[in-house]
Amino acid sequence: AWPQKTTTTTAVNLRTGPSTGYTSLGILAKGVRVTEYCNRNNKWSYIKVDSGANNGRWGWMDSRYMGPF
C-alpha cells in the first residue's frame, strides 16, 4: 500500500524517470528517508525525498536500494 516510508540502503541516484537512461537529479546518501508513492515492475520507485541534501525533491530510484524505515 502507498505511500510507504522507507530508507536508502546505499548511495543511489535520484532520476527523472524509471531507468538508468534518465538524467540523475542527484545522489541520495545511504540512510536518507524517502516516501514511495508507486513503482514500475518492482524495479523503479517514484519517491519524494524526506531528508538530506535533496529533501523535498521528487524522482525515481532503483527499488533494490530501499530498506526498512
How many whole angstroms separate alpha carbon 29 and alpha carbon 8?
7
Task: Please report the domains of the chain, with CATH numbers, ordered by start residue.
Answer: 4-67 (2.30.30.40)
pLDDT score recorded for residue 68: 86
Strands 24-28 and 33-40: unpaired
Q: Partners of 34 in the beta sheet?
A: 6, 49
pTM of the predicted model as reported, rounded to 2 decimal places: 0.94
Residue type, 28: L
Task: Give, in degrees to the nearest 5, the angle at Cα 28 between 24 and 34.
Answer: 110
Residue range 51-61, pLDDT digits in tens? 999 999 999 99
Residue range 11-42, pLDDT digits in tens? 999 999 999 999 999 999 999 999 999 999 99
Please determine, for residue 10, whether its predicted confidence score (pLDDT) is greater than 80. Answer: yes
pLDDT score recorded for residue 69: 79
